[in-house]
Amino acid sequence: MSTAKDTAAAEPLLRVRDLTVAFPTAQGPVEVVKSLDFDVARGGALGIVGESGSGKSMTSLAVMGLLPKGAERTGRIEFAGTELTALRERAMRAVRGDRIAMIFQDPLSSLNPYYTVGTQIAEAYRSHRRGVTRRQARAVAIAAMERVRIRDAARRVDHYPHQFSGGMRQRVMIAMMLSMEPELIIADEPTTALDVTVQAQILDLLAEIRADTGAGLVLITHDLAVVSEVTDHIVVMRDGALVEQGSAERIFTDPQEPYTRMLLDAVPRIDDEIGLLRTTEEDR
Amino acid sequence: MTFTPTDLEVEGAAGGETAGHPAPSSPPAQRRRLVRAFLRDRTAVACAVYILLIILMALTAPLLVKISGWGPYEFDQSAVDPNLGGLPLGWGGGMGAEHWFGVEPGNGRDIFARIVYGARVSMTIALAATVLTSVLGVVFGLVAGYFGGRVDMLISRVMEFLMAFPALIFMIAVLSALPADNRQFLLVVVISVFGWPYLARIVRGQTMSLKEREFVESARASGASSLQIIFKEILPNLASTIIVMTTLAVPGYVGTEAGLSFLGVGVVPPTPSWGQMIASSVPWYAVDPAYFIIPGTFLFLLVLSFTVLGDRIKKIVESGEGRA
Amino acid sequence: MSRFLFNRLLGMVVVLFLVCLFTFVVFFVLSPDPAVQICGKNCTPEAIDQIRENLGLDQPFWTQFWTFITGLFAGRTYGTGANAIECAAPCLGYSFQTSQPVADMIVQRLPVSATIAIGAAVLWLLAGVAGGLVSAVREGKFADRFIAGLTLTGMSVPNYVLALALQFLLVVTLGWLPFPQAVPFGDDPVQWFANFLMPWIVLAIGAAAVYTRLTRANVIESLQENYVRTARAKGLSPGLVWRRHALRPALTPIVTIFGMDFANLLGGALITETVFGLNGIGKLAADSITKNDQPVIMGVTLLAAFLVVVGAMVVDLLYTAIDPRVRVGSAK
């Protein structure tokens, strides 16, 4: 992953400019993402924060080229020097999973109940790497599972998703993505469906993987407490539009917009039980 | 087979799932919008018109027969050719000014009159069975879903048992074993006994989720009795589901009645029913095709109309709920 | 797993017992005079007395029922002395009109019914799944709406009307097909196929319509599953996404209803067999209704119930084998 040349070093890993996503309706197009600009530095970690319906998930799906049917995407998405919006579907498929990996909110419904986790990890690997045997792919799956610290991986690789706990399922998702050694990881609310103690473990794991592989990270969440731990740059969104963005430190210490301040107020502190209450309300 | 339990089951499952989250209240405005959406759907209107025509025809049967000039039980030997085994004289099974739809081979009974009177029998049985199944299905579904526990277990077991039954063949067995005095009534009972679980299962499921909702809780808190809650709070919310399910069930019952009559365990001759007319046309189909084509077409169009109508209503209700 | 199996088997036995009881009550208790009914239309008072004695109709209900049940497993003998009639296990009853045990009559007819049912099942599965897939892929487009129209028509046409119409068109008017006769496959495969084609089509069409709708709905639903999104996000090709992640979950429920429908058909194709004059179990039942041969009707009813219950059981087991969530308990 350290092939980045000096000339490219200044260039961000992901550069999004004027990204707009619209859905046509009977009353005309409705924009769910409005002219959004942001960068992810090489090895950087960006947090996209906003309440549900703020367009943050649509932003990530737009980058992946996985928008629902009927959605219209305009603007530019430049990934490691390649303009993704100009890619044909086949070329985009080669990027998806292999170079940009994504994990989702609900690990149970995001895993297919009919196949073992090993099969699901291996199938991505095999479809991107030609000439890989079943056995090799299985070894990769086991290694990836070990790396996300799933105990007894050699045996667990043959288990089905329903046999894992919530946190373990999310580890499986991370292993699936990790097996491809992606350059950019997009995590959409990766901890929302999990218990508080497990949340911290998963966030630690993501931070650790980022440090190990040097991959860029986009962490999407409604919870500023989550991004505070892992990201260095934060984008705040509301109703599809950018509210403000800046370094994580600046956003936390010196928020410019009242909306950001409101979100910050909702962050629980150890001595603040009311704050905790507020976040749980927002979880709904 | 005109009636496979799984047909209904599939429809039922689909209906239940789509109407799975009934809106907490259906204000008149929403209802009006549904009606308008329905009127804009030309196919649905055409189906409704056909059904209404058949009902009208059934209601005015004596009058229509007076106009056409022949009753359903009158023999007209002059219209058939005894030398050809009683084949109707003339084109299209004896169609003409005298007999609008021709006559039955053999005895020369007027087919128009028998179609008109047959509509009476078919519609009466199908609609009566629908009403009875709906009542049984709604009541048992509500009771099982609302009270839960042992009552639910008992009702659910009975439903499972009835649904695991080969319904058609059992209906035949029952009808053939029992005396033929009051066949029409028996038909309704037998069809309903095997028909109600499909509706009840869905009503039960929805009731179970509805009873946890806030408005039911608040009614309970304000001291409403179980009966009041069931009929005033829960039942109105099930209206759209029940309408969809019953419309989808009617064609099944029309077909079942016709099928049973076709097999000789339904309506007993000489009382006309469409299925039974088709059954008696079997030996003649090669030489007198009009004899089966006419009742066949009427029956097919009636079943089709009900099926399409049910399908359209389901879609309209679904989209209405989706927007609400 | 074995516990599940045991419960399932127990449930099956209970249902079958209730079916027997139910049927028995209908035929022997509700019926005004079973002996007269069983004897049939051309009957002498002596024959009626004979039957009454043979069946032990003067015995209390539970004794009669017990004899009937044991007859199913161990066979029974009707009457005594020189007039005694042997009915080997499984004794489903004895037709006094044809002087044959009902079970033998059914076994004779089974090959024809099986041929009809299997052929129709193949046809409706292929047509239904294919139709549903095309509809799902072309959702909202012309092909989808066209197929939707076809399925509504297919669901609505009563099969005897279709049978008569097809016969009139293909056999009488156009002369493309022979009048159906049950020709054994070994004698003349082409003839065999031509003979069974119409019954297959007639029986398959309604089910094909239902399967089309079901497949379409399931595929569209499964394409919206989160794991399909995951599969896309992994960069799998559309073919793989479809084959592995959309189709398998979508088609699994089809297995459930298929088993039931097939079992239903095996003993229940009364109308089609009658219209086409094919000597299967359905025609046997229909003929027995005309002749009022009660023991045969009862026997066929029991067989049909047995097939449906066993079908449901097989489906459950199959489902268990297919769905890992049921097969492997969660071991957290």
Q: Is residue B128 within 8 Å of B287, Cβ to Cβ?
A: no
Distance between CA A139 and CA A125 in Å, rounded?
11
Q: How confident is the model at residue C62 (pLDDT cuts 50, 70, 90)?
A: confident
pLDDT (tens digit, 9 = 90+) per residue, C70-99? 888 877 777 666 667 777 778 887 887 787
- Inter-chain residue contact A112 with C331, CB threshold 8 Å: no
ipTM above 0.95, yes or no: no
Q: Among partner residues A101, A111, A164, which is closest to C227 by beta-carbon distance?
A: A111
Handedness of CA A243, A237, A76, A43 (dihedral sign): positive
Express each pLDDT in B3-21 by its tens digit: 333 333 333 333 333 334 4
Average pLDDT over residues A268-279: 48
Q: Does C243 touch chain A (CB under 8 A)?
A: no
Q: What is the mean pLDDT of residues A71-89?
A: 89
Cis amide leading into B72 (omega within 30): no
Other CB atoms within 10 A of residue B247 CB: 21
pLDDT digits (tens, 9 = 90+) for B46-96: 989 999 999 998 888 888 777 777 777 777 777 667 777 667 767 667 667
Task: Among C28, C173, C301, pick the best mutation site for testing chain B contact (most B Cβ within 10 A).
Answer: C301
Per-residue pLDDT band for B285 (boundaries 50, 70, 90) equals confident
Q: Give yes or no for A52 touching C (CB within 8 A).
A: no
**How confident is the model at residue B258, as a pLDDT?**
83
Nearest chain B residue (CA) to C298: B173
Task: Write the pLDDT tens digit of every residue in C108-160.
Answer: 888 888 888 999 999 999 999 999 999 988 888 899 999 988 998 888 888 88
CA distance A25 to B108: 62
C178 secondary structure, DSSP code: P
* H helix runs in chain B, sequence order: 5-18, 28-40, 42-59, 61-68, 91-94, 111-147, 149-163, 167-177, 183-210, 214-221, 226-228, 235-262, 274-281, 290-323
Residue B304 sits at φ, ψ, to 5 deg, of -60, -45
Closest in C229, C230, C324 to A160, CB measured: C324
Looking at the predicted structure, is the pLDDT value of residue B128 above 80?
yes
Q: Is the minimum CB–CB distance between C21 and chain B shorter than 8 Å? A: no
CB distance B95 to B101 below 8 Å = yes
Omega within 30 of 0 (cis) for the link into B270: yes
Confidence of residue A17 (pLDDT cuts 50, 70, 90): very high
**Average pLDDT score over residue span B132-161:** 89
pLDDT tens sequence across C266-322:
766 888 888 888 888 888 888 888 787 778 888 888 888 888 888 878 877 777 777
Return the higher-pLDDT residue of B165 and B313: B313
Q: Which of B136-140, B174-178, C55-59 has the highest mean pLDDT?
A: B136-140
Binning pLDDT at 50, 70 and 90, where does residue C207 land?
A: confident
Does residue C270 belong to the interface with chain B, where contact is any CB pair within 8 Å? yes
Nearest-10 Cα torsion for C33, C34, C40, C43: -60
Query: Residue B181, Cβ neighbours under 10 Å: how many?
Result: 8
Report the amino acid identity of residue B183: R
- Tell me the C-alpha distance between C283 and C290, whole Å: 10
Q: Do B1 and C309 touch (CB under 8 A)?
A: no
How far C32 CA lies from chain B's nearest CA (Å)? 8
Q: How confident is the model at residue C180 (pLDDT cuts 50, 70, 90)?
A: low
Q: Which residues from chain A sit within 8 angstroms of residue C225, using beta carbons?
A: 109, 112
Q: What is the pLDDT of residue B131?
A: 93
Does an interface of 3+ CB pairs under 8 Å exist between A and B? no
- Residue A114: list chain C partners with CB under 8 A: 248-249, 252, 323-324
Select the residue from C222, C228, C230 to test the A interface by mutation, using most A Cβ atoms within 10 A.
Answer: C230
Q: For residues C306 and C300, what is the distance between their CA atoms, to the nearest angstrom?
A: 10
Judge contact between C129 and C266, C-beta under 8 A.
no
More confident residue, C255 or B293: B293
Output C332 or B303, whichever has higher pLDDT: B303
C264 and B CB contact within 8 Å: yes
Across the range C161-172, mean pLDDT stands at 84
* Angstroms from B185 CA to nearest CA on chain C: 16
Tell me the shortest Cα–Cα distance from C229 to chain A, in angstroms: 7
The helices-and-strands tally (H runs, E runs) of chain A is 13, 10
User: What is the per-residue pLDDT for B229?
Assistant: 85
HEC-encoded secondary structure of A26-41:
CCCCEEEEEEEEEEEC
Q: Hey, is B35 helix, strand or coil?
A: helix
How far apart are alpha carbons B77 and B108 in whole angstroms? 6
Nearest to B206 by CA among B7, B12, B27, B35: B12
* Residues of C with Cβ-Cβ distance to A112 under 8 angstroms: 225, 227, 230-231, 244-245, 249
Helix (H, G, I), strand (E, B) or coil at A244: strand
Q: Above 90 in pLDDT, residue C239?
A: no
Distance in Å, alpha carbon of C97 to nearest chain A alpha carbon:
55
In DSSP notation, B242-302 reads: HHHHHHHHHHHHHHHHHHHHHTTSSSPTTS--HHHHHHHHGGGTTT-THHHHHHHHHHHHH
Q: How far is CA A35 from the centre of its chain?
A: 20
* Res. A283 pLDDT band, cuts 50 70 90: very low
Whole-number average pLDDT of chain A: 83
Give residue A274's pLDDT. 45
Is residue A11 very low, low, confident or very high in pLDDT (cuts 50, 70, 90)? confident
* Farthest-apart Cα atoms in chain C, separation: 82
**For residue C41, what pLDDT is reported?**
64
User: Hey, are the CB atoms on B169 and C158 less than 8 Å from each other?
Assistant: no
Would you state the pLDDT for residue B122?
A: 85
For the packed helices B183-210 and B235-262, what is the interaxial angle rounded to 10 degrees? 150
Contact: C161, B300; criterion CB under 8 Å: yes
Counting beta carbons within 10 angstroms of the beta carbon of residue A229, is it exposed (0 to 12), middle (13 to 18) or buried (19 or more)?
Answer: middle
CA-CA distance, A186 to A271, in Å (whole number)?
32
Alpha helices in chain C (DSSP H): 2-24, 34-39, 45-55, 61-74, 102-137, 142-156, 159-166, 189-223, 226-233, 238-240, 248-268, 270-276, 281-291, 294-322, 324-327
Contact B10 C300 (CB under 8 A): no
Give the pLDDT score at B182: 78
List the structure tokens of A130. Answer: 């030609």
Q: What tokens appear for C6 in the block?
A: 């045991």
CA C219 to CA A220: how far, in whole Å?
30
Nearest to C161 among B177, B278, B311 (CB): B278
As a whole number of Å, the CA-based R_g of chain B is: 23
pLDDT score for C277 = 82
Q: Which residue has the higher pLDDT, A276 or A58?
A: A58
> Which of A164-168, A241-245, B109-113, B118-122 is predicted with the least confidence, judged by mean pLDDT?
B109-113
| For residues B157-168, average pLDDT | 79
Which residues in C83-93 are b (16+ Cβ under 10 Å) and which e? eeeebeebbbb
Under the banding of pLDDT at 50, 70 and 90, the label for residue B27 is low
Query: Closest partner residue to C165 among B179, B264, B296, by Cβ?
Result: B296
Q: Regarding predicted confidence, which is higher, C46 or C83?
A: C46
Q: Is the separation of the CB atoms in C317 and C327 below 8 Å?
A: no
Cross-chain Cβ contact B303/C158 below 8 Å: yes
Give the whole-angstrom CA distance, residue A39 versus residue A247: 12
For range C177-181, the mean pLDDT: 72
Residue A195 pLDDT > 50: yes
C164 close to B (CB below 8 A):
yes
